[in-house]
Structure 1
């Protein structure tokens, strides 16, 4: 097997251009985002989006026939590492969540009519979307427990249920809703996906849920994590996305690449926090020396560098495996990076905030926002504990139970003596 850690020069040039654009043009937007408002933000990034499209990097996660580049997960991962340095960079490159994931679903499972009505306007920025799956009454990490129902009624489906954390649900033009269409089927074949126009009667937006990451009541302008009640929502039969009972299958196609992109964006956040940690260590004087001379700070720097390097290599390897062997082969690798990468992000941001003291805790720096974002990372796309359990189960399938330790380990003193005698005899024979 050949190993190559280099990036081809042509793509490296694209990455360098991206890094410069994000740092020079997108980072400054963070300081004035609230003043810009949603409409002002869209106007501000329009020239940047035009530059991205001219470079052929717009919606790069999609196949070429839909305007993307058909990049594999390794290249997309390297791009997302750069985009992760700012919460607004993905919008500039046409792959902001949840629209990016929803566009992948529509590209994968959408009918020609659904692509014409929803996918193409979504890519053009004329429509906004939401993904509506999580429910307050059931464990979010176990979607087999979903209670929202979709019942066939002639040439229509009727949806009833209660959802929350449907990101952008309050400002979306359409929602992709996961609902149980066959409660008697096998657990992973019970649910289907449906496209629901937001103005369909019975779609009741209850509220946008304030969170640790976004505690302020500003969602009316930007959209947040919506709580939605679907009450006798009647949609045509052709609103079914993919086949009946294929909801989980379609979701897995979305989640695998999405988790890789999450982890690489987290590395972008980590690197930005790490840079701030190092700069602070060199510029701050306390108790007779620079902070960079303190052993604790040196340990933080070394540990952070090691953790980020490990997370980066693990994530790119998972991406490489998905590119070469498919999503199923990379399943364990993706679960590994999900919980490992989330904890690396939290550790690095925590250290950077700590070294900045009161300044880090204040909103004068982006560290406090990074800290709140990092805590949510351990819940997104499955809690850490669920991914650890999945990894352990996958690993244990390669072992068999034994009443005694492996045959490679002597279990009694006489066994060890007998083996030692055999080795001595073999050495004597060779002499």
Structure 2
């Protein structure tokens, strides 16, 4: 049994975090997308981002210094019982706020003993979700290593995005598509190695790539794409971010600070896919090629490089643009704290017919469960509530009337108009 004097981590509340703390588990937003990756050293800016997105009382487990973090890793404390119990408590606190349930596997170090955890009746009893997503899931299919595929297994949105879809049929299709995509990545060394470059490059690119891919697949499912089209869409979205690993890191940091430098990145995307297609014939498909070529085109014709307009822009290009737009807004991709999920969806809705395809946005909003009567909704300043109606669902399906647990009912459409 480990002596308490040897424990090198501490549980803090978010309001107690200080620069230099090293967070020992990922931190997730209320919509299930990752906000901060595991083992990130916190700066004042990063703490500000966490505070913006999550309540001040939420628990975070940290090592207070680099030396303590190194001891945590060296002594493999990521797998000891006391630490796992703290993570369980954190999962329970997070799930009080999440719009989709988190599982402890999304918090663990990939080197932790998954088999031992699965033998714990407490884990199985307390952390099984409605769709039976169990801790054993990754271990059954993949040896947990420090690679990109293991990161996919741990991301809660990637593993549960079907919960956001409207019908059982779409949910079942999502499960099959995800399995097929993972099988393709596992069986293709060239593809897997390209994605591993993201894992070893920058945390923010890793987070962005998985979040954007999950959103792209959700959109594609609501548009009734075939299984083959959905797989191609997922691969296209993943590889666009893999191409950025060819940039020197200081150049990538400049990209994050000055998001308008799209022409330079366009050439990176195109060159990377062209080079990879020599070894991967699957990338020579027209849908994948034009998904990359059309990424910077705007629905209103004001984009780059051809100034394409409307449906002249490829379907993949239009889908990926929506996924990236939302993720970049909510995730603070471009050196900002980002916006809250509700505000990001509002921005997506307001950019219909401008940057984004209005028909795809409309179908996605109406065929997903984000805004449906009876669904839960979380607004940090008010807490968790239930959608009870809409004042104008035809024109504003993203602005419901919400009754919160404290008894307050708010019409978001009127609240927004009064601002």
State TM-score, norm by structure 1. Answer: 0.26
The structure having more radius of gyration, on CA atoms, is 1
State TM-score, norm by structure 2. Answer: 0.26
Point out the structure with the larger strand share: 1
